[in-house]
Amino acid sequence: MANTPNDIEVKNIPLLGSIATNDTIVGERTPGTTVRFTYNSSANGFINPGTAGQLAYYGANGNTVSGLTTLNSAALLANSSGVLTWTAYTGTGLPVLNTSPTFVTPILGTPTSGNIGNCTGAPALTLTSCTGLPIAGITGLGTGVGAALASAVTGTGNLAMSTSPSFTTPILGTPTSGNLGNCTGSPALTLTNATGLPIAGITGLGTGVGTFLATPSSANLLSALTTKTGTGSAVFGTSPTINTPNIVGVTNASNASAGSVGEVLSNSTVTGAITSNTFTNVTSLSLTAGDWDVFGALVTGPAGTTTISFVSLCLNTVSATATYPESILPYSVAAGQVVGVVAPTMRINVSSTTTVYLVGYITYGVSTLTTNAYIYARRAR
């Protein structure tokens, strides 16, 4: 007969099967806590719930069952009367095992580990040591907040937003775009792909240089130059048009360089005997490509009895051939008389190196005749 709602009454023994004195009876006070005691057929009594925190026990007339044991001896301790008592416990309700237990309003404290990926209501927890809470499992986040939380970060300090942020010693790398109009100290930056750096923001420019860089006209260039002469447009090296220039000549007795306007080339030749009535190259000169003014001169060297009756002298790019203009002396001179003739100046304009010949034709008689010839050229352009 049970005395309290927590008592276990064992009666109608035949229902348990065959049982004899000293057989072990196993009972369960609460789920997961097993107690064993020895059956004595002469004893009558009940399972006493004992006091708070104690397990029930069976005894005749209130005595402790002989040989009472428990499977959970680490959590239970028998007192001096043989009554099993929890060594430590908290809360109320049923004992809990470690596989799939159900807690009702537990106070978890600070877990050293855990995975709350399937939990709800997590904001009230202290998750210092927990892992496995996915960003996707948190609801109520604003647009883009989850993606931002999942992204890697660099640097330290406050989170920067897109409008008017203030950065401290950032490493910008190579920007793909940007506007540095209000920046200072820019020389240390790499501005390969940056735009918007105004000329007005560059310091240290000379007077008028910024204006020229912003509007690169000839007039603004003229204003920016500190030393200059003349007016008008800027002049470049190929086919410029220069109006009324004042080209000052040299005063140091120097010669024009090869290829420059004013370059001078010359040659002289003392010939041997010259055949009468024959076109002869009395001297020649190699001209480089250019526009040249060329002239030549000849002086005869007759023997004492030689008479001269005709002299002709001209310049030609064809060897031993007469051409126009030419100088002619169509009259006779006394025997042994020296004759000098100058060929008219001739423009020779060539695009490659060309030989110019001074061609003479002399009619003479009685004895021999030699010539001294000179050819001179000056580059006009």
For residue 77, pLDDT over 70 is answered with no
Residue 87 and residue 89: Cα distance in Å, rounded?
Answer: 7
Token pair 């200059």 is at which residue? 228
Q: How confident is the model at residue 312 (pLDDT cuts 50, 70, 90)?
A: very high
Which residues partner with 299 through β-bridges? 340, 372
In this predicted structure, what is the pLDDT of residue 31?
A: 58
**Residue bearing the bigger pLDDT, 2 or 250:** 250
pTM value is: 0.47
Residue 344 and residue 92: Cα distance in Å, rounded?
Answer: 137
Q: Which letter, b or e, does each residue of 263-288 get, where b requires 16 or more Cβ atoms within 10 Å of its Cβ?
A: bebebeeebeebebeebbbbbbbebe
Among 132-136, 222-226, 339-343, where is mean pLDDT lowest? 132-136
CATH number at 264-379:
2.60.120
DSSP labels for 197-233?
--GGG--SPPTTHHHHHHS--HHHHHHH-SS--S-SS
In this predicted structure, what is the pLDDT of residue 156?
A: 87
Q: How confident is the model at residue 293 (pLDDT cuts 50, 70, 90)?
A: very high
pLDDT above 70 covers what percent of the chain? Answer: 71
Domain with CATH 2.60.120 in the chain: 264-379
For residue 327, pLDDT over 60 is answered with yes
CA 11 from centre of chain: 93
**Residue bearing the bigger pLDDT, 373 or 190:** 373
